[in-house]
Amino acid sequence: MENFTPGSALLGGALIGVAASLLLLLNGRITGISGILGDLLRPRPGEVGWRLAFVVGLIGGGLLLLSWSPEVFAPHPDRSTGAVIVAGLLVGFGTRMGNGCTSGHGVCGIPRGSARSIAATITFMITGGVAVWFVRAVFGGAL
């Protein structure tokens, strides 16, 4: 964690919280990325516009960051493409199994007092910690 910057982390967290709160207050929707994208792929009338705007904003924000700080997206030499693909598939599987992603459960569900979201977020955190420990202990941190 040699590159940890508390100021930018605090600002980023606050912006995520404000965005999630605004979507809930103004649109009555939960900011769960897997649900937003999943329901965009199975469109219903009246649901496409805001979902598309949200996804375009996420991608646009990433592209903007890429133009400002391309080093953020530099590949890690100790992570193979296969490992990244497997990790992505496992996250996707966990998202389906947990009936939502970390943004939906952690950012939106916990503040609403959802017991299911609290349990899911605890499970996500423990599983992530065990996965990091396993990769470091078994593979020396490199895959």
Q: How many domains does the chain have?
A: 2
What pLDDT is attached to residue 31? Answer: 87
Residues 42 and 53 in one domain: yes
53 and 120 belong to one structural domain:
no
This prediction's pTM: 0.73
- Residue 75: its pLDDT value, please? 75
Same domain for 70 and 3: yes
DSSP run (H or E) holding 3: none
Go through 71-104 and write b for each residue having 16 or more CB atoms within 10 A of its CB, e for each that does not. Answer: eeeeeeeeeeeeeeeeeeeeeeebbeebebbbbb
How far, in Å, CA of 64 to CA of 50, rounded? 20
Per DSSP, 105 falls in state I
Per-residue pLDDT of the chain (143 residues; tens, 9 = 90+): 567 788 888 998 899 899 899 988 998 888 888 888 888 888 888 889 999 999 999 999 999 999 999 888 887 777 778 888 888 888 888 888 888 888 788 888 898 899 999 999 999 899 889 988 988 888 877 77
Is 83 in the same domain as 107? Answer: yes
Q: What was the pLDDT predicted at 18?
A: 92
Nearest alpha carbon to residue 29 among 65, 6, 53: 53
* 90/66 same-domain check: no
Residues 90 and 136 in one domain: yes
* Pair (44, 111) in one structural domain: no
The Cα 71–Cα 107 span in angstroms is: 27
Q: What is the secondary structure of 72-101 as a DSSP string?
A: GGPPPTTS-HHHHHHHHHHHHHHHHHTTS-
Query: What's the pLDDT at 104?
Result: 84
**Domain boundary residue, one of 49, 74, 99:** 74
**Which of the listed residues 53, 74, 95 is the one where a domain comes to its end?**
74
Long-range contacts of 9-15 (CB under 8 A, 24+ apart): none
* 89 lies in the same domain as 33: no
Check whether residue 133 and residue 81 sit in a common domain: yes
69/79 same-domain check: no
Residues 59 and 116 in one domain: no
- Name residues whose C-beta falls within 8 Å of residue 123's C-beta, 6 or more positions apart in sequence: 98
* 101 shares a domain with 56: no
Residue 109: give the domain boundaries.
75-143
Q: Which of 56, 74, 92 is the last residue of a domain?
A: 74
Per-residue confidence (pLDDT) for residue 2, from 0 to 100: 66
